[in-house]
Amino acid sequence: MKIPGFAKRPLSRRSRKGWLVRISARLADADLARLSGEADAVRTALADRVMKAARPGDGRTVLTRNQYLMVIRVGQRSTDASDPIPVVRRLLDSLAAPVESSLGPIFPRLNAAFTVTACDAEDTEARAALTEALEQAERAGSGVALALDPVNGTSEMLTLETAEMETVGILKRAVDAGQVILHYQPVVRLSDGRMTSVEALMRVVDENGGGLLFPGQFIESAEKTGLIHELGRIALHVAAAQMKTWRETLGDACPARIAVNVAAPQLANADFVADARAAFAEVGLSALTLELTETAMIREMPEAQQSLATLRAGGAWVALDDFGVEYSNLSYLRDLVVDVVKIDRSFLDGTGSNARGAVIVAKIVELAHQLDARVVAEGIASAKQAEALAQLGVDYGQGEHFGLAMPGQAITGRD
């Protein structure tokens, strides 16, 4: 990966003697507040990880400062003596995994700073310059480094991120800054056109000027790193707060339920039920619909199924998303108790001129109703589609014909 600006300034003969690299691995203030008495144990686990990351041959000393700052002096290596970046990137990769706690995975916020001139661990001037560089890197955000030249008094901002690291960095910064938001798409009763519920869709603000990130751009990375649990908690609390606001402002026109997408790893997390109950304590679980993704995985996870059963007993609904996409969906209906079946948008083209498609939709509706489940058709783009689906017995519709996903204040509750 080419690092902009770095190659433009060749290292001097003197600078090839070694580098001084400093990694900051800290916990977010919100995590410290949640962990309370356990915070010191998590910090210790983080320090142990840094010690192991600085393998012999890469590092000569590892020091801790203020309980969470790590200093690593990386010595010369024959393979990359003139380029510290591969070493720094590898260290960041090894440190980025979550630290386990009783409250679930806790994610360190990582930054790196390094000098490109020769340094000695006892060189107070170089250490002071590096401290300044690290402070700038911490302010800039996770996954950012500064190459500092204390001799010439210049510094350059560098990125150490691969595409996935960049996405994870955006997610972490958005979580820290409260920039994880929800937009809401209306779900309408086809018999009278009245909005009865909404689906909450997550958006992440990229404060570096990248606009909004949509789920398809970050969900895979979130699941791979475990950030999905933190994002899931945020979604539950934001959705519940929005429902409370709607009840106060819309009255009887308020949507009855709000659907939040949940993945199998979230449901298998021991804290998920408690998080959902805490989030919806004021508005009630009867306002929550859990919209399932990765249904095949859920069937293989007893903990996930138990979470669904517990929340459903408390009044939450369970929705089976994208029904009909895979041949084994019928077995999902056999193994999981659901309240809503959402027909995948790929079936909608068959509701008009294609008689075979209409027969399939009608049979899905018949089967769902026999199992006491409501049916929602996704992706409705026209009044003609909506009318055809209503005639086939579909209960509710969702799609651009009724409205795209929008901020909470744009939901008016009008018929």
Q: What is the CATH number of the domain that holds 268?
A: 3.20.20.450
Rounded to 5 degrees, φ, ψ at 191 are -70, -30
Indicate if 173 and 157 belong to the same structural domain.
no
Strand pairing class (257-262; 288-292): parallel
208 lies in the same domain as 77? no
Residue 379 has pLDDT above 80, yes or no: yes
Quick: pLDDT tens for 239-248: 999 999 999 9
Using the 3D structure, point to which of 129, 161, 193 is the last residue of a domain: 161
Least confident of 281-295, 324-338, 399-413: 324-338
Tokens, residue 209: 């000027």
Average confidence (pLDDT) over 75-98 = 61
Same domain, residue pair 204 and 314: yes
Q: How far apart are CA 308 and CA 113, in angstroms?
A: 45
Query: What is the rounded CA–CA span in Å between residue 275 and residue 108?
Result: 21
Q: What is the pLDDT of residue 50?
A: 65
Q: Where a domain ends, among 161, 180, 209?
A: 161
Is the model's pLDDT at 347 over the cut of 50?
Answer: yes
Q: What's the Cα-to-Cα distance from 368 to each of 59, 150, 373, rounded to whole Å? A: 62, 70, 5
pLDDT at 102 over 90: no
Mean predicted lDDT score pLDDT of the chain: 76
The candidate with the shortest Cα–Cα distance to 408, out of 216, 200, 257, 180, is 200
pLDDT in tens, 159-199: 555 566 678 778 888 888 889 999 999 999 999 999 999 99
Give residue 368's pLDDT.
94
The answer to whether residue 155 is domain-embedded is yes
Res 79 pLDDT > 50: no
Q: Are residues 219 and 135 both part of a single domain?
A: no
Does residue 366 lie within any of the structural domains? yes
Residues 156 and 246 in one domain: no
Question: Among all chains, which residue has been given the structure tokens 């509701």?
Answer: 351
Question: Residue 328: which domain range?
Answer: 167-410
Q: Which residues lie closer than 8 Å to 234 by C-beta, 6 or more apart?
A: 175, 180
pLDDT tens column, 247-289? 999 999 999 999 999 988 899 888 899 999 999 999 999 999 9
Any domain includes 337: yes
Among 132, 161, 190, the domain boundary falls at 161
* Residue at 338 is within a domain: yes
Same domain, 237 and 360: yes
- 7, part of any domain: no
The answer to whether residues 239 and 371 belong to one domain is yes
Rounded to whole angstroms, the Cα distance separating 200 from 194 reads: 18
122 Cβ contact partners less than 8 Å away, ≥ 6 residues apart: none
Total domains present in the chain: 2
